[in-house]
Structure 1
Amino acid sequence: MTAVEQATHWRGRTAVLALGTFAVGTDAFVIAGVLPAIAGSLGVSLAAAGQLVTVFSLAYALTAVPLGVLTADWPRRRALVVALAAFTVGNVLTALAPDYGLVLASRVIAAAGAALFTATASATAAALAGESHRGRAIAIVMLGITSSLILGAPLGTAIGTVADWRATIWFVTALGLVAAVLVWVLLPAIAAPAGSSGLRARLAPLTDRRVLGLLVRSVVIFVGVYLPYTYLSAVYAPATGERGELIALLLLGYGVAGTAGNLLAGTLADRVGPRRVILAATLALAAVFLAVPLARDAGLPIALLAVLVSGWLSFSITTPQQQELVALAPTAQSVATSLYQSAIYLAVSLSGVVGGLGLSLLGAAWLAPLAAVLVLAGGVMTTRTSRG
């Protein structure tokens, strides 16, 4: 691909990748909205149905790196299509499975495809756009994830309400199939990065202290980011009165603000460098979290403002983190982004555990200040683990 072609076409081609991450994100988020229907249909408890979410997250985290290593020297288009094929097959099996055990197994297949696609899509977007537009390209790919939270999951839940939960899964399957076709037709042939062949080259990020340091700080930061989000209903209970429609409003505001923050962060990271964006976002987010105990008691408008700002800043971190990561591992970008995806899903899991302990030991009012300590610690780590 010539430089002129690259400059002209990277946005449209990256948008195709965003459709794939929209499908993946919708699949990850929508199950929570149809859990009661799944439980009733399969004759299991709501708690057992909830394990579909747990299994998907764990399978995603555990398969991302091995699949990234296995496919590191594949042409990018092939890896993306194979990933979406696995994702689609997994969802077809979910939609057709007659019992709980098969549904559970099918979520593992779908999660493996999702993990491979998301990591490969970020690395491919960076390659399509080139170094000068890398942050914006990754931000577009991540837009698929944030928009699935705002649009995909509610739409899928509505389909499940009108029809049944299997119709929701067929909707996700269709999204994955369309994305696979568009990736195959519209993406150019992109070879794996030079030097990515051989097991030693593929595993190089695992021995790079800078990469490992970035991954550790990502876990620390995102445990802090997801801690108040996971327990948002408890954190902002004084402002919402625990009314479902008001909690939904806060969640919607968080997602919309996060989408805008993600896109702006990609542009800023291209202009001033990812480390500066990460530092600014973590410091500002820590300050917002420290103010949450006051915001939660000051009424709904102030609580909504706190949620909007925290959503904006939270999603301003992930794109610059990935941008810095692919720069640190130029010959093993798909493995590096796979490691990043595993780190994020580990952080999501840990946020539930840490938040649960904090809730019982400190109370809901102190969850956001606890998150502030973690985010601030991650910001400090940024000064030590990032190259200038």
Structure 2
Amino acid sequence: MSVFWLALAAFAIGTESFVIAGLLPTIANDLSISVSAAGQLVTAYALTYAVGSPILAVTLNNIDRRTVLALALSTFIAGNLFAVMASGYALLLASRMLMAVGAGLCMPTALAVSVAVASPERRGRAVALVTSGMTVATVIGVPLGNLVGSLFGWRATFAMVAMLGAIALTGLLLGLPRGLPKSTASLAERLAVARHGNVLIALLITVLWALGGFTMFTYFAVPLRALGFDASHISLALLVFGAAAAIGNMLGGLLADRLGTVVTAALGLIGMASALFLHSLVLKFLPGQAHYAILGPIFLQGISGWAFYPAQIASIIRIDPQASMVALSINASAMYLGFAIGGALGGAVLAAWGPSDLGWVGGASVTMALLVHLARGWQARLKPVKIAG
């Protein structure tokens, strides 16, 4: 039962991480700032997560995992409550960074705890249940949060997320035992993994993939509002994206087993780059039909972009199975670094050109990720290479 509360914590974090894409125009209007400036709320969150997560994991590696989870979730909840009360842009930006500190500490700890509390034969399912919290958030939490924000104001969405976090925290405090295993990876061990050539290439691919996706996704609602989408239609578009992402995540795992990680990752990147280019093509050349046609690229981006991710994870694990947990932790930081750069780059594109150009830039980044991926060679399997020890 304790794994369920870990999954609920992941659901709250996933909802908060992605729902802001649908709320940016409303936040910008309410705070009297540009949408590009509002987009830096995503950049600040992602950058804080990317930098803070590994540092906090090492700093708190000698503290009981139950205590770390309680501290992480409490920080995340506090950040959301501060966002509810934020009177201006600076305070909202600071609250987002506080949320990221909590989220960046909570997620890797939750995965480690799920393994610790599950029996050996159920550990894989325990990890899958926790990660499914993030996936379900894209399908249910994000559209619901956007709808709540449209009906009751964007502050209500942060209040909703704080409530979900509080429920998860209560469940964990009541259900998790004390004395859970502590983290063993030191900063030196993490750096040793990060410096390995194959890992560095994998991290570069992850950054470019995440950068391309969030160049557009950060400002998801901006072109849709320009097409006349109201709040309910934007929630529907977010539901389409989330459902596609959930399908893509499962499909990517199946295809990685059948076709191999190299082919599956390549297909995912090709589909995602195509979706981003199509997004701009539809907005540029089919303005009359874009209200309906735009859902096609949105669905394709969700299913192909998230089909890439499990294949990427599998390939990283194969580099050195003994160091896989450390490598995956660093990969998560690389992903959020890409999110941060994408949010900043998307804001620059909006300021210099317009929302219909976001897809060109995002697609170019994913294309670069594809080229780097292909440059590694069309190998069906990566040779295990010892990194640490």
Q: Please say whether Structure 1 and Structure 2 have the same fold, judged by a TM-score greater than 0.5.
A: yes
Task: Give yes or no for contact 1:125–1:134 (8 Å, CA) kept in 2.
Answer: yes
- Which of the numbers 368, 371, 376 marks the counterpart of 1:377? 371
Task: Give yes or no for contact 2:255–2:264 (8 Å, CA) kept in 1.
Answer: yes
Q: Measure the CA separation in 1 of the matches of 2:274 and 2:29.
A: 44
Report what 1:263 is aligned to: 250
Distance 1:79 1:334, change over 3 A: farther
The letter of the residue matching 1:174 is: M
Alignment of 1:22-101 (within 5 A): 22-31=11-20, 45=33, 51-72=40-61, 74=63, 76-96=65-85, 101=90
- Which of the numbers 225, 234, 242 marks the counterpart of 2:227? 242
Q: Measure the CA separation in 2 of the matches of 1:360 and 1:31.
A: 22
Task: Give yes or no for contact 1:138–1:266 (8 Å, CA) kept in 2.
Answer: no
1:229 shift after superposition = 4.0
Bigger mean CA deviation after superposition, 158-167 or 57-66: 158-167
1:363 shift after superposition = 5.0
How many residue pairs match? The answer is 371
1:112 shift after superposition = 0.2
The letter of the residue matching 1:387 is: L
Report what 1:314 is aligned to: 305
The letter of the residue matching 2:241 is: Y
Q: Give identity over the alignment, percent.
A: 32
| CA RMSD between the two structures | 4.4
Report what 2:99 is aligned to: 110
TM-score, scaled to structure 1: 0.74
- Which of the numbers 336, 342, 346 marks the counterpart of 1:345? 336
1:191 shift after superposition = 2.0
The letter of the residue matching 1:221 is: W
Q: Measure the CA separation in 1 of the matches of 2:133 and 2:309.
A: 13
Report what 1:4 is aligned to: none
Matched, 1:223 2:211: yes
Task: Give yes or no for contact 2:114–2:127 (8 Å, CA) kept in 1.
Answer: yes
1:21 shift after superposition = 1.7
Query: Structure 1, residues 252-304: CA drift from partner, whole Å, max 9, x if none?
Result: 32221111111333455467664453234224444555666776657556553
Report what 2:382 is aligned to: 387
Matched, 1:17 2:6: yes
1:314 shift after superposition = 0.5
Task: Give yes or no for contact 1:133–1:270 (8 Å, CA) kept in 2.
Answer: no
Distance 1:131 1:349, change over 3 A: farther
Segments of 5+ residues of structure 2 without an aligned counterpart are 384-389
Report what 2:387 is aligned to: none
Task: Give yes or no for contact 1:123–1:333 (8 Å, CA) kept in 2.
Answer: no
Query: Structure 1, residues 178-226: CA drift from partner, whole Å, max 9, x if none?
Result: 2223334445665246xx2544334432333332221111112222333
Report what 2:269 is aligned to: 282
1:315 shift after superposition = 0.9
Q: Measure the CA separation in 1 of the matches of 2:27 and 2:219.
A: 24
The letter of the residue matching 1:209 is: G
Bigger mean CA deviation after superposition, 184-193 or 209-218: 184-193
1:87 shift after superposition = 1.1
Q: Measure the CA separation in 2 of the matches of 1:234 and 1:46.
A: 11
SS of the residue aligned with 1:318? Answer: helix
Bigger mean CA deviation after superposition, 180-189 or 355-364: 355-364
Q: Measure the CA separation in 1 of the matches of 2:281 and 2:2.
A: 45
Task: Give yes or no for contact 1:275–1:382 (8 Å, CA) kept in 2.
Answer: no
Matched, 1:304 2:295: yes
Q: Measure the CA separation in 2 of the matches of 1:381 and 1:135.
A: 32
Task: Give yes or no for contact 2:45–2:340 (8 Å, CA) kept in 1.
Answer: no
Distance 1:70 1:335, change over 3 A: farther
Q: Measure the CA separation in 1 of the matches of 2:254 and 2:116.
A: 16
Report what 2:188 is aligned to: 200
Distance 1:379 1:251, change over 3 A: farther
The letter of the residue matching 2:181 is: A
Q: Measure the CA separation in 1 of the matches of 2:150 and 2:26.
A: 9
Q: Measure the CA separation in 2 of the matches of 1:329 and 1:90.
A: 37
Q: Measure the CA separation in 2 of the matches of 1:226 and 1:219.
A: 11
SS of the residue aligned with 1:244? Answer: coil
Q: Measure the CA separation in 2 of the matches of 1:103 and 1:290.
A: 33
The letter of the residue matching 1:191 is: P
The letter of the residue matching 1:373 is: T
Task: Give yes or no for contact 2:24–2:39 (8 Å, CA) kept in 1.
Answer: yes
Matched, 1:191 2:181: yes
Q: Measure the CA separation in 1 of the matches of 2:20 and 2:362.
A: 27
The letter of the residue matching 1:277 is: T
1:376 shift after superposition = 2.0
1:312 shift after superposition = 0.6
